Structure formats: structure tokens, C-alpha cells
A and B are shown apart, each in its own frame.
Chain A
Amino acid sequence: MIRETTLNAALLVLLLAVPLAALILDELFIITLATRAVIFAIAGIGLNLALGFGGLVSLGHAAFFGIGGYAMGILAYHAQTYTPLIEWHFVIDGTKSMPVIWLTATIASAIAALGIGALSLRTSGVYFIMITLAFGQMFYFFTISWPAYGGEDGLSIYVRNGFAGFNTMDPITFFAICYAMLLAVLWLVARLVRSSFGLALGAARQNEDRIQAVGQRPFTLYLAAFTISGAITGLAGALFADLNRFVSPTMFSWQTSGEIMVFVILGGVGRVYGPVAGAAMFILLEHVLGGLSEFWHIYLGAILLGIVLFARGGLIGLLAGREVADD
């Protein structure tokens, strides 16, 4: 059995070493794969905050992933076509600057998560799963039928957005930016779950009555967790859109929600580093199984089923030999 902290460190080193090795070997495709893994990991970390630490099973996180993506798409689209975003008593132009886009994506998805959370948290259990799913679908169908930003076809952005003078079209530079974001998010979430807020959230998940008895409102805790969770997933959406230089309603589809959930479960629910392991494993499986067979989803499904039925702590739980993360 390996200590979990060692495992986490090894995971981060590996995630950095693979693209660097790929750079030396001139395998640019591998770098893109690693970038995808990093971005998916951020999305998963976001969901894990609600799902793992708050016990809120959201099947609608594609909504935030998509909002982040479209925040990037819409801002960059206006910058690329030189049309103002808002022309009212004042003019707001589009932008190609990554930090501005990230901020917009985070705030927009946080606001959406606040609204969706406030409504959805009136329910619990299976109703919560389904109402979040329905909200995700609402955004999906809205983007499909709203023609202003490409409708069903989505939006293409020709040049990747800029970040402080770096050449972001260079795969390894963009990987480095995403990796730095991953570290920042990991640091934030690790701090958050150890803070008094995180502890209260964990307590609310385990026993709502007790947390109420000591004078905390579970609803407020859940809503805060859900909002931060949505914001982080939104950030991942903006990065994902920048990676592909393309946004489409697929980002909002419920399969996306399902996949983000898969990252969390594959790695291990309620572990800060779980989604990192899960996303890396997902990309690895996609790459390896996809090479073996056109119908690789069958194998992915079988593996997933095996993990749910037999390995309940996910990948990290399996390697560390402990089913349940620290509480």
C-alpha cells in the first residue's frame, strides 16, 4: 500500500513528465492529450467539491462547463469579428485575453450555479439528480435553438487567446498554462476542504440534523459549495474551449455531465486529487482502447461498471488500499 500523499505527488509529477517527454520525442499529439487530461481534471475537481465533499450528486455540471466554454467563445468571437459585445449606453468589446475570459467564465458559471443551486437545493436525493440534469438540458436546448452564436454548429475561434505575451498556440506553452491553473485549483480546493467551511460542509453531508443543531444552515453550506463547484467547472470549460478553439452545444450535453462524473468516480470520490487520477485514467483509456477497437465505449463501460461494483474507492482508493477518503 502506498501513502496517499506520495501517490498524489507522483500523479502530479507524472502528469508533468509525460508531456515534457513527448516534447523531446516530438509527439505533439501526446501533449494535447495531456492538456485534455489536465482540463478534465479541473472540471472534475469542481464537481467533486459538490459531489464528494458536499454529497450533492449533480448530473448537470455540463451546464457550467458549457457556460465557461461559451464565455470564451462569445468574447473571442466578438473580438475576432470586431463587433462590440454590448452596445447600449456604453460599449463592451470582445476580448482575446485569457485572464479576462477566465474571470468572465468563472463569474458567469458561478452566477448560474448560484441560481440553479438555489432552486435545485430545495429538493434532495434523486430529485436533485434529476433537476440538475434538467437544468443542464435546458441550456443544451437553448444553445441549439439560439442562432446568434452558431446554434447547433457551434462557434470556431481561429487563433487561441493570448496570455501575457506567451505563444499560446505552442502546445507545451498552453499545457503549462493549464497545468498551472490545475495547481492553483488544487491548492484552493485543498485549503477549502480543510477550512471551517469545508469541515462544516462535510459534517452537513454526514448528518444534517447535527449541523443544524449547532447553528449552521445546511442549505447555505450546500449552496456555497455548489456555486464554487460550478465556477471551477466553468473555468475548465473556458480552457477546454480554448484548447479546441471551438465551442458547441455538445459541451452542454448530458453525456458531458456523465463524463465529468466519471472522472470523479474513476479517481475516487471525496479525494482532492481523485479527479486528477480519474481524468488521466479516462484519457489513457480513451487513447489505448480507442486504438484497439472502434467500439471502445463497450470496454470503457465494462471497466466503469467493474469499478462501481467492486472498487468503491476509485483508482486512488485502490492504490492506497483505503476505500473511504479522510473525513
Chain B
Amino acid sequence: MPLLLFIEQLLNGLQFGVMLFLMAAGLTLVFGVMGLINLAHGSLYMIGAFAAAATAAATGSFLLALMASLAVAAIAGVIVEMTVMRRLYDRDHLDQVLATFALILIFSEGTRWLFGSFPLYLDTPAWLKGSTQLPFGITYPKYRLAIILVGLAVAAGLFLMIARTRIGIQIRAGENDREMVGALGVNIARLYTLVFALGAALAGFAGALIGAIQSVQVGMGEPVLILAFVVIVIGGIGSIKGAFIGAILVGLTDTLGRSLLPLFFGVFMDTSSATTIGSSLASMSIYILMAAVLIFRPRGLFGAA
């Protein structure tokens, strides 16, 4: 494979990984702080994308659409947290899985009812259309590059928030000992709602950003959700750093696997069967990666022992 093409795939993998991080960050925070496994996180991603598509269609502004995705997903998150999730914190994981599975059904069908079954389209703004020239003669789509930069910025902001701010300290304390934090006068219920809304907003934001590359449709959240689960399991549940490294790892494995594996098998078999075997294996590669990580580190790369 020519080097330039390889670097382009590397960037694609990075872009995919950064998006996965936005999803996984919310999931891992919610699990780390509240001990809740939330299958409906993918629905918040979908809600963000639909909010963005509807806003863009109404106003024509991409930036407004992004803000709408953040706001609507956060509001949806607050509502869900206050009506349903609250009752689930003390329940076992089975109840949580089931209740949030029920939420997926409600959200998906609700969205279908509101917007119909046909996909919506969210256009990238004019100033992000086309490609840009990077050093070493690499051309890369502006929009994807923007996603990488925005994603890295959000990740940096999140790290700073967790490490440096008062809220971050409370979140970390909540992960360690929620009763003690409550006893020290932190409003736990409000902290939980806040963390959930933050995760929801990040998911919605990711949905809007990806919505401009793919189409916005019902059911778009679940494939990403499962990948985000893979990410946080690889990284170690509850760890933001783990989520980031896991996301990049999954993004690169998936993207490079899809382009490299067929070529790799092409070395010692004919092209058509190499494509078949290569692409079948590539579609399973991240799950194989996850299984491998869990076999050697059952609590993920950065999970608490």
C-alpha cells in the first residue's frame, strides 16, 4: 500500500476513534460514577443527530445545528435521568440492561413517529467542504480533519475538567465513595443528573458530527453504542484515559483492518478470496481485539484491579 494512502487511512482511523471517544466518555462516566449500564446512550446520539438535522433544515446554520444537538441531547438526558435512571442506580445490571433496552424501543419508535422512516440529511457547511493540503503532500477532507481537531479539543477539555475543576473532583470522589461525598455536603442527586446530562450532550454532539458524514436515521445509535461498549471494556470501565486510548485503538484497528487485511491475504491467495476472508475478518477485528484484551486483562487496560 502506498504510504500516502496508509496515512490517509490512519487519519480516518483517528477520526473514527475520536468520535467513539465522545460516545464512550459519557458511558464510562455514567458507569464509573453511578454504576449504571446505559444501553440507551445510543438513542441520545440519535437524538442529537436528529436535533441537528432538524435545526439545520430550519435555520440553515451548521453551528446552530451543533448547538441544538448539544442542548437537546442534554435536556433529553436530564429528563431520562430524573424519570427513569434514578430508580435504577440501586438495581442490578440485569434490570438496568432491560430498562434501558425498553428506553431504546421507546426512543427509536418515537423518533420514527416524529420524523418518519426516511433518513434525513445534514449537510456539511460550505467552509468545511472539499479537501485541504497537509504537510508531506497529504490531501485530506476538511470536515474530517475538523472532526479530529474538535474531538481532540473536547477530549482535552474533559481531561482538564476531571482533573482540575471542582466538578471534576466531585465526579472522581463520587466514583470512589458516593456516600462519603454525600456526607461532605455535595448534592449527589444533582451531581448524578449533571454527569448524565454531560454524557448525553457529548453523545448528541457526536451524533450531529457524524450525521453530516452519514445519513441521520432511526437505529443509527445502536451500532455506535456497541462499539462504544467495546471501547470502554478495552479501556477499563470508569476510566476516561482508558476510554480515550480504547477509542483510538478501536478506531485504528477497524479502519486499518478493513483496508490492510484484504491486502495482507492477497499476498498468499487470489484476490477474490483474499477480499472475502480479509473483509470478514476485518469486520470482526475489534471484537477479537476486545476478547484478546479481556483474556490478558479481565478489567481492561486501565480498569481498577
Contacts and interface: CB of A to CB of B under 8 A. Distances in A.
B98 A262 contact: yes
Nearest to A308: B99
B226 A134 contact: yes
Contacts of B104: 301
A161 B256 CA distance: 43
Contacts of A142: 280, 283-284
Interface residues of B, number: 43
A126 B93 contact: yes
Given A57-B97, A131-B233, A261-B97, A298 B291 contact: no
Contacts, number: 123
Nearest to A57: B94
A141 B31 contact: no
A261 B106 contact: no
Contact of B105 (A122, A261, A304): A304
A138 B288 contact: yes
A contacts with B: majority SS: helix
Nearest to A300: B105
Interface string B225-258: 0100110110001000000000000000000000
Contacts of A129: 37, 93, 97
A309 B101 contact: no
Interface string B261-305: 000000000000000100110111001101100110011100000
B84 interface: yes
A59 B93 CA distance: 11
Given A126-B93, A265-B98, A131 B105 contact: no
Interface stretch (A7-15, A27-35, A143-151, A315-323): A143-151
Interface string A52-66: 000001010000000
A122 B295 CA distance: 7
Given A129-B93, A295-B112, A122 B280 contact: no
A273 to B, nearest CB: 19
Contact of A305 (B99, B276, B279): B99
A123 B303 CA distance: 12
B218 to A, nearest CB: 10
A219 interface: no
Contacts of B95: 308, 312
A269 interface: yes
A172 interface: no
B123 interface: no
B280 A145 contact: yes
B102 interface: yes
B188 interface: no
A174 interface: no
A296 B106 CA distance: 9
A145 B110 contact: no
Interface in A242-259: 254-255, 258
Contact of B287 (A51, A135, A296): A135
A301 B103 contact: yes
B87 interface: yes
Given A146-B280, A297-B109, A304 B37 contact: no
- How many chain A residues sit at the interface, stated as a range, is 35 or more
Nearest to B233: A130
Given A122-B294, A146-B276, A298 B226 contact: no
A297 B117 CA distance: 14
Interface in B202-227: 222, 226
B15 interface: no
Contact of A295 (B113, B222, B232, B299): B113
Given A301-B103, A301-B104, A57 B93 contact: yes
A125 B99 contact: no
Nearest to B106: A301
Interface in A112-171: 119-120, 122-123, 125-127, 129-131, 133-135, 137-138, 141-142, 144-147
Contacts of B105: 297-298, 300-301, 304
Given A125-B93, A126-B31, A302-B106, A119 B291 contact: yes
Interface of A: 51, 57, 59, 119-120, 122-123, 125-127, 129-131, 133-135, 137-138, 141-142, 144-147, 254-255, 258, 261-262, 265, 269, 295-298, 300-302, 304-305, 308-309, 312
8 smallest CB-CB distances across A and B, nearest first, come from A301-B105, A304-B102, A301-B106, A141-B283, A138-B287, A297-B109, A305-B102, A301-B102
20 contacts: A57-B97, A59-B97, A123-B298, A126-B93, A127-B237, A127-B294, A129-B93, A131-B294, A134-B226, A134-B233, A137-B287, A138-B288, A141-B280, A141-B287, A145-B283, A261-B101, A301-B103, A305-B106, A308-B95, A308-B98
